[in-house]
Structure 1
Amino acid sequence: MHNSGPRIEVIPGRHLVGCTANSVVVVSNRGEDELNSGSSTAADLAALLDLVRDAVARDGAQPAKLVARAATEWAIARGDDVDFGVLVPAGDGIGVFLRGAVTAVLPEGEPLRGSDAGFTVDRVVRGPLRAIGLFVDDAKPAIPAEQGVSAVAEGVLPGSGAVLWFTPPIAAAPPVEASDTRLDRTELAASAGARVRGFVCPAGHLNDPRSPMCAACGQSVDRTSQSLIEGIRPPLGALLLDDGTSYPLGADCVIGRDPARSEPAQRGLVPIRVDDSSGGISRAHSEIHLVDWDVIVVDRGSTNGTHVRMPGQQDWHPVGAQRRVAIGRGTEIMIGSRVFRLVGVNG
């Protein structure tokens, strides 16, 4: 992050902008005539600002990774479509986290659009950088030609977005994908947009055509009077580790004790690193593949194997080396002494 911190300018508008710890959060006003402390938009902004403050308290130099994890989990638990964006320090760059109709604008190059992603956009932007803007998609977002006279360090204001100005600019460095291996690549891969056919619920969420209930909001899905439509597949639930850590499934992944340098990770699978004191987990132990609406477990020929226990069953069953096993919600996966459970998007 830039040593002196950015100068934050809020651009007037009807949405909400929060500033704290050299970071900015923008939340779209979803049709509320009056924004006050009791509005849902204000409550969402307050929750996201708390996530940022907690991340900065835990890692003041590079809180972007923690913000990405917490914001993704918050969005999944929130259930409905909240449009928001976060700009947060990320070492020598700026972490950009977007969900929905929110856009990050750079002085040069293509903007980063939350609406282009299957779930979220999670990137780190590096220099040269004199400014970066974060805007709700009401109109074509743009960074002003010159800095305004106002500046905000801490607080909440109505606005269409905000601009972080850097003086002097952040030095040049090659743009890179966010380095967090748990969620950053997951959501970037999801943004590539695996397209599937399904039915939509009354709230507009795309669902598995075999499911009578919406996985995102729980509403009933009419599967008789509507036609299948094609859209970007949402995350197919999450892997919940035995310590409570949640890994949303937005893309294929590889699980192991050191999967980041493995061949599957080099092919683009999202690495999920799991510690195991028993020594029973291989470097790249198992893979999870998303095929249409199905979640598939594959053992990579690991020394100790991968085992699954289907919902309601007592016994564990080996997957078998290089075998593909489809699993559903509630299925447990044992790798070494660690256990994952496949849960829905709302846990």
Structure 2
Amino acid sequence: MDRQVEVVAGGHALSRVAGAVILVAHRERGRLTPESRAVTAVRALGDLVADATELSPDGPGRWIARQATRWLMKDAERISPGEPIDFGILSAADTGGLAIFLHGSVTAVLAGTVVEYYRGSDAAFTVDRVAAPPARAAALFIDESRQELFGHHQRQPELPERGIGSLIEGLAPAAGAVVWFEGESVVSRTPVRAVRPRPAEPPPPTAAFDAERDPEPEPLPVDPDLIPTRTSNRIPASLAAVASDPVTEDIPVDLHRAPTEMAGSSETSGTNPAPKPDPDLQRRLEATAKATALTAKVLGFKCARAHPSDPRAAFCTVCGMPVDQTQHVSEVIRPPLGMLVLDDGMTFMLAADAVVGRDPELSEPARAGLLPLRIDDSSGGMSRAHAEIRLVNWDVTIVDRGSTNGTRVRPPGYRDWIRLQPNQPFTLIPGAEIMLGNRVLRLEPVAPPPFG
């Protein structure tokens, strides 16, 4: 982004790399130092942004979102053990828009004819959005009081008056950063880096699922004899679509909207406003994922880096490295089996069984221990506890709980939706889409693409 980036004075870590703006919260005692966790994190994210810019110089936002999600799952814990890292990134999108990526207690502000706010604390895991460039400015601010965020009175950050300072490149202490879009562009320096050959990789999920730009992955061949399972009798040999329900048959769902068409809506605009999850949901997600990861043991292989992996796959489920298929299966701790990406960019990590609906927290599955995933839906077609996501060995399955309007699935490569039979599990593969009411989720893999 060749725009003036103005620093808002404060004690957090701000960096500008290849035109992108990175802001990381400093939560340790004392002043920010070169040894602070926030500085270590902002440098690591800066390398990630530079790598993504090599791959997509005209708009690395999609690559940044994908790599930042992996960084959160694999590397962030080493930098800040036991303490989440709050950060935000503003970068250019390949659509010509502005890519916003937030995690934790950080807020993005878009100031145009109206002012829009995106809060990382409102998301179950991350906020990954593409917005139209605002008429005036875009900004990132660290939320200073986490307790205030979990209360009912959230102070909206305000943009300062425009100054003459500009961060071209490098690190600075800050409470926030403002990217000014009004006025003339400025020249930013993009670091020259050696371009390393990399394997081709599909773009990450965004708010709009574009089949032409994001081709569906080929399903992996499955050998049913590799993993003995006592629950295989729960999976039906075939699934027949039942008669369509007139209540939801004609609900218009446009899965091919351009990101710039979707980005202008705010949390309260349109016929299908973005969901506002319970602020405590993030902590429950993390606690449940950690507890489940310690107890969910399955038969599997280990890659050269000792990661547990699905023995049916030729590449590691965690890191993408090749797996020795001649080894004997052994009991391993199962890693997350994928991410559910909602149509507005919100993500849910699949590390535990979950119940999905518009108000699943008090449902019977939630009381039985399933993780409640709440999704707002204004169409009236989603039940309070609509469907269950069950992790069976290395498979992700979905079960419609007898909802009034049904659950529909579209496997990768298919044009038509399949309506599930109530209470019958259906196995999902990466790229499959799920329709609940008027909302659509997509199953994405956690691991990076195979090496070589």
TM value normalised by structure 2: 0.45
Answering whether residue 167 of structure 2 is matched by residue 156 of structure 1, we say: no
User: Equivalents in 2 of 1:199, 1:101: separation in Å?
Assistant: 11
2:125 is matched with: 119
**1:35-57 deviations in Å (ceiling 9; x for gaps):** 22222111111111111111111
Question: Which residues in structure 2 correspond to 1:249-264 (within 5 Å)?
Answer: 249-251=339-341
The counterpart of 1:53, out of the listed 50, 55, 58, is 50
User: Equivalents in 2 of 1:84, 1:200: separation in Å?
Assistant: 17
Question: Which residues in structure 2 correspond to 1:22-33 (within 5 Å)?
Answer: 22-33=19-30
1:166 is matched with: 181
**1:93-119 deviations in Å (ceiling 9; x for gaps):** 211100111111122332111111111
How far the C-alpha of 1:291 sits from its partner, in A, is: 2.2
Unpaired segments of 5 or more residues in structure 2?
A: 78-82, 145-154, 186-201, 209-262, 264-271, 296-308, 322-335, 344-385, 400-407, 414-418, 432-442, 448-452
1:229 is matched with: none
1:192 is matched with: 275
**1:265-306 deviations in Å (ceiling 9; x for gaps):** xxxxxxxxxxxxxxxxxxxxxxxx9726654158979799xx
The secondary structure found in structure 2 opposite 1:296 is strand
1:143 partner amino acid: L
* Larger strand share, 1 or 2: 1
Give the direction of change, closer, same or farther, for the CA distance of 1:199–1:61 in structure 2 (3 Å limit).
Answer: closer
CA contact (8 A) 1:252 1:290 kept: no
1:223 is matched with: none
Unpaired segments of 5 or more residues in structure 1?
A: 171-179, 220-237, 254-288, 305-320
The secondary structure found in structure 1 opposite 2:168 is coil
2:198 is matched with: none
Segments of 4+ in structure 1 off by > 6 A? 197-201, 238-241, 298-304, 332-335, 340-344
1:156 partner amino acid: L
2:102 is matched with: 98
The secondary structure found in structure 2 opposite 1:110 is strand
User: Equivalents in 1 of 2:444, 2:182: separation in Å?
Assistant: 48
User: Equivalents in 1 of 2:63, 2:444: separation in Å?
Assistant: 22
The counterpart of 1:87, out of the listed 87, 90, 93, is 90
User: Equivalents in 2 of 1:19, 1:303: separation in Å?
Assistant: 38
The secondary structure found in structure 2 opposite 1:86 is strand
In the alignment of these two chains, the number of paired residues is: 247
Answering whether residue 139 of structure 2 is matched by residue 133 of structure 1, we say: yes
Answering whether residue 116 of structure 2 is matched by residue 19 of structure 1, we say: no
The secondary structure found in structure 1 opposite 2:49 is helix
Identity within the alignment, %: 30
1:144 is matched with: 160
**1:122-177 deviations in Å (ceiling 9; x for gaps):** 111214422111110126422113x212111101011001001124379xxxxxxx
- Higher Rg of the two aligned structures: 2
CA contact (8 A) 1:118 1:192 kept: no
Give the direction of change, closer, same or farther, for the CA distance of 1:65–1:292 in structure 2 (3 Å limit).
Answer: same
